[in-house]
Chain A
Amino acid sequence: MEELQSLMHGFAIAMTWQNLMLMFLGIILGVLIGVLPGLGGANGIAILLPLTFTMSPTSAIILLSCIYWGALFGGAITSILFNIPGEPWSVATTFDGHPMARQGRAGEALTAAFTGSFIGAFFAVVMITFLAPMVAEFALRFGPPEYFAVYLLAFCSFVGMGKGSPWKTIAAMMLGFALAAVGMDTVTGQLRMTFGSTELMRGFDFLVAVIGLFGIGEILLTMEEGLEFKGRSAKINARVVWQTWKELPKFWATSIRAVLIGCWMGVTPGGATPASFMSYGVARQISKNGHNFGKGEMEGVVAPEVAAHAAGTSALLPMLALGIPGSPTAAVLLGGLLIWGLQPGPLLFVEQKDFVWGLIASMYLGNIVGLIVVLTTVPLFAAILRIPFSIIAPVIIVVCAIGAYTVNNAMLDVWLMMLFGVVGYVFKKLDYPMAPMVLALVLGDRAEDSFRQAMLMSQGSLSILWQNWLVGGISALAIALLLWPFLAPLRARLRKAPEPA
């Protein structure tokens, strides 16, 4: 019960007036970011990160994590009212959410989505509260080989659990690693891949990459679709909320499944988007109303929303406990820790108790604040969406440019942002995954460091990755995940073989 004590201490830190104000501000900014096309959780936080340099780390992380919750909530608004997913993880919400809105049940759909999100996030935070300290304590025993094995596991699971071509995942991921290596080698001081350019000595900043890939790339895609917002109006009042809440307990079984799927996909870097699809699919198969899915079934809104939020929230567990983010947004938050002068990893739970428990307490509070804010301000955000795209698009490009510039006060970064924008556009169209690339760019240096240290310990022999049951187990699991997609066609062939050809 030591965790409960720490949590109470965290609440004491998080519940100052200043922090509560930051929570409100963060949620509202976050919903705005989630609602606008071209701005999402990851690049929205990346753009706002420089504004927090002067804040105390605890206040800064509260502001940024609340932006993240807000963005998670906001995605549902556009999905349901406009049939346009504001975020990739709310695609599955459109399947039943928008039909409900067309039937005039927008208020119910939104209430169900927000409440589902809240429930998903709540259970994930409870899990973080009790599991993260244990994982961190366990990870304190990790040495370089164990760390490299964990990195290997994180990246191999992208290959193993990704839906697209494994080769594309590998190519995109390794591109991230290569870009991370550009600049000065921290161990030897050697310059790598700078080709005589002094500007490249600084290396590629992943914040710039995130702003370009997810911001500019998204704007280009939206332009191509020739987006016109044709929305349904939403009326949410206390009566609708109350009636929907009376209906929701029916879906307890679906919610539990969704929470489990979400937490699992969030902790392993599967992410919120596949979690929401998987949860929707499972709910459709199991539910007795499954045949009505896609026609405006409330259960079809609850299932993906609960899972997406559970995944989005639990992605912070490995970020806090191990220093390995489970999603691009968690990666940006991790970048924030480094900028504020905190060393991510298991020692955080020992050395920065105030920060960690303040953050965890703020997750509880932030989600309550978030639920209240979104339930009361939906009409406002729906109105913002009616602003034509030809005004929003240039403003977002300007915001992205300012965001990219402020990362290092360098014009080169703004040009790089445009380049990453094109990369993001092409990658999205050809199904190259961007999350592993961003994570590789963030973790590249640290993965390389742990690899080098491990190699030094073993004098260059890879056998160190199998030296004991712990590191060997993690490595074996990583290799299994890496090979999984390549074995799939083989298995299919084996199964086919007995049939007469």
Chain B
Amino acid sequence: MSRPEEEGAGLVSVATMEIIVAALFFAFGAVVMFDSYRIGASWASDGPESGYFPFYTGLIICTAALVLLVQGFRKRAQVAVAFVEAGPFRQVALVFFPALVYVGGIALAGIYVASAIYIALFMVFLGHYTWLRSVAVGLSVGLFAFVLFERWFHIPLPKGFVERALGF
């Protein structure tokens, strides 16, 4: 993802990020206004329509976003400050994307199995622990969660083929 000589370099400047976020805010505000207008944002015979309040919410978001956009562009003309450096961002990505895979895995394998696998792999690849220790920690957290929720609190969580095979 990043070559070693790039470590410490800024991936994107704060000003650029400010502009992106402000633009997203504007788009969001516009969607809110559009949908509120669609369902009616004015005054009906029985009082304000459903879109009345959200329409103005969207309008304020768009106004604030425009101001922030202008401020962002002004900031961009000045000295660039890095939003995040390549090295730290790699750390963030290493946590975030496997976590996304984990959430996807919950639907497949159930929350207990997915959690045990996720914790074990995280420890092996990011914490550099031995497989034995990592699997032990992963399994015990998974088992503890299972007993806690299914047995003690009677709160059913998503289960997968392993639990089904064991007859739960």
Which residues of the partner chain A approach B92 to less than 8 Å between Cβ atoms?
A: 220, 223-224, 425
Interface residue stretch chosen among B2-10, B43-51, B160-168: B43-51
Does A219 contact B95, Cβ atoms closer than 8 Å? Answer: yes
Does B155 contact A426, Cβ atoms closer than 8 Å? Answer: no
Say if the beta carbon of B103 comes within 8 Å of chain A.
Answer: yes
Which residues of the partner chain A approach B91 to less than 8 Å between Cβ atoms?
A: 223-224, 226
Shortest CB-to-CB span from B106 to chain A, Å, is: 7
Which residues of the partner chain A approach B158 to less than 8 Å between Cβ atoms?
A: 405, 411
Which residues of the partner chain A approach B156 to less than 8 Å between Cβ atoms?
A: 409
Say if the beta carbon of A80 comes within 8 Å of chain B.
Answer: no
Beta-carbon contacts under 8 Å, B24-66 to A:
25, 28-29, 31-32, 35-36, 39, 43, 47-54, 57-58, 60-61, 64-65
Beta-carbon contacts under 8 Å, A205-232 to B:
216, 219-220, 223-226
* Interface size in chain B (residues, C-beta < 8 A): 65
Does A393 contact B68, Cβ atoms closer than 8 Å? Answer: no
Does A171 contact B65, Cβ atoms closer than 8 Å? Answer: yes
Q: What bracket does the count of chain A residues touching chain B fall in? A: 35 or more
Which residues of the partner chain A approach B50 to less than 8 Å between Cβ atoms?
A: 185, 187-188, 190, 192
Sample of 16 A–B contacts (CB below 8 Å):
A170-B64, A175-B28, A178-B32, A178-B57, A187-B50, A192-B51, A223-B88, A224-B88, A225-B88, A390-B128, A393-B95, A395-B119, A414-B106, A426-B21, A455-B48, A456-B48
Interface 0/1 of A168-204, CB less than 8 Å to B: 1011001101100100010110111101000000000
Does A390 contact B122, Cβ atoms closer than 8 Å? Answer: yes
Say if the beta carbon of A494 comes within 8 Å of chain B.
Answer: no
Nearest to A194 among chain B residues (CB) is B35
Say if the beta carbon of A104 comes within 8 Å of chain B.
Answer: no
Q: How far is the CA of A345 from the CA of B39 in the complex (A)?
A: 31
Which residues of the partner chain B approach A134 to less than 8 Å between Cβ atoms?
A: none
A401-B103 contact given A391-B137, A451-B53, CB 8 Å threshold = yes
Say if the beta carbon of A15 comes within 8 Å of chain B.
Answer: no
Q: How far is the CA of A409 from the CA of B84 in the complex (A)?
A: 35
Say if the beta carbon of B17 comes within 8 Å of chain A.
Answer: yes
Contact of B99 among A174, A187, A418, A429 (CB under 8 A): A418
Which residues of the partner chain A approach B145 to less than 8 Å between Cβ atoms?
A: 398, 402
B68, B95, B129 pick with most chain A CB within 10 angstroms: B95
Say if the beta carbon of A460 comes within 8 Å of chain B.
Answer: yes
